Amino acid sequence: MTSPPAPNFREIATPFGTNRIAFRKRAGTSERPGLVWLGGFKSDMLATKASAIDAYAHDTKRAYLRFDYSGHGESGGKFEDGTIGGWAAEALAMIREETQGPQVLVGSSMGGWIALLVARALAEANEAERLAGLVLIAPAVDFTEALMWAQFPQDVRDEITQTGQWLRPTEYAPDPYPITRALIEDGRKQQLLGSLIRSHCPVHILQGMQDPDVPWRHAMLLIEHMPSDPVTITMVKDGDHRLSRDEDIRALLSAIDGIA
């Protein structure tokens, strides 16, 4: 297996700060929309699904941009300094500065939330035509509040409030993830559920029904908030949160190929 090419870097300034963002991209020669990977919480652009899309982009000659949020992977910054708003601002800046024309955003878990925040920001700037479609994998919309804070016991809430963070054990890495007060408080400002959500483009959701982190009912709640846009959902009956098995990857690439 060949090693991926070294990343490029770009200094990205947002209202949340300036960070050195690592990215890789393919120029592409196809007239079809480009692809942008938006990874999950503590994930990176060399993960299984992001790499599978790179191979697909190569084979189909489609443009493809993938990058690491600040504090993730090969990018600069510290993870514990990150917030949903900051990472969404980085994603928006990277899309504007490193892509041309319509794009399909592929968002995994937290990346699904960020994709919808980017869609909102583009629409507010009269740039909705930059999106050709969204493919969302177990979209963790509003997860800091709905799937974290609302389920944390009081002692964990107190630790976050009083000390500024709590180290959350995870099965996805040997070390726990720091859940900071800034992450929780900023997440409340970025919430989408509770009001109409617009993508201004077709959406295809892939959701595992055995997902312990983002329950399939959360995906259905998201759909209920999107009555104005065409939304398709594929439920994977035995699928987990990662949806990284060979059959899951095939379903993902089929969704990408079919949406635009």
Q: Is residue 182 part of a domain?
A: yes
Whole-prediction pTM: 0.96
Positions marked catalytic: 109, 211, 241
Cβ–Cβ < 8 Å for 180, 148: no
pLDDT by residue for the chain (260 residues), tens digit each? Answer: 567 889 999 999 998 889 999 999 999 999 999 999 999 999 999 999 999 999 999 999 999 999 999 999 999 999 999 999 999 999 999 999 999 999 999 999 999 999 999 999 999 999 999 999 999 999 999 999 999 999 999 999 999 999 999 999 888 778 889 999 999 999 999 999 999 999 999 999 999 999 999 999 999 999 999 999 999 999 999 999 999 999 999 999 999 999 99
Give the domain CATH number at 245.
3.40.50.1820
Domain count along the chain? 1
Q: Is residue 53 part of a domain?
A: yes
Letter string b/e over residues 136-150, b meaning 16 or more CB atoms within 10 A of that residue's CB: bbbbbbbbbebebbe
Nearest partner of 148 among 106, 187, 194, 98, judged by Cα: 187
Query: Strand, helix or coil at 60?
Result: helix
Q: Is residue 2 part of a domain?
A: no
Q: Is residue 3 part of a domain?
A: no
DSSP state of 148: I
Domain of residue 50, residue span:
8-259
Q: Is residue 1 part of a domain?
A: no
Neighbours of 79 (CB within 10 A): 16
The distance in angstroms from the start CA to the end CA of the chain is 30
